[in-house]
Structure 1
């Protein structure tokens, strides 16, 4: 019985060791790829398009629609 528990503990520790080592390699690879992408973005920057915003002026038609909606809501109450 004790032998089985020791084998199980050994297997558990071995599995946990493999998992933690794989995660460390994965984190290191992510940091490496992040540094590579930052370097490549400095070499080959993307063009940024400047989009002009439309003015937020409200026209008389918009005000009429708003008034109609408010009237409909008030009439429904």
Structure 2
């Protein structure tokens, strides 16, 4: 297993990619969500704003976000259909 990519690697891939017009890093973390119906195991993903277009995911609740939101570390939650 290689090392994780960093922001420098991502920028190089975005700049030089011919066959991938959009790229998104992805960080996943298993968590326990607590709500009115009890506890549920789920996964939280950290992605770029291109993620939703890449996988053709529809936001069903919450806000979409922009690259500016990422740069300013704005806290945003977007729920998508699996």
Structure number with greater CO (CA < 8 Å, separation at least 6) is 2
TM-score scaled by length of structure 1 = 0.16
Higher helix share: 1
Higher Rg of the two aligned structures = 1
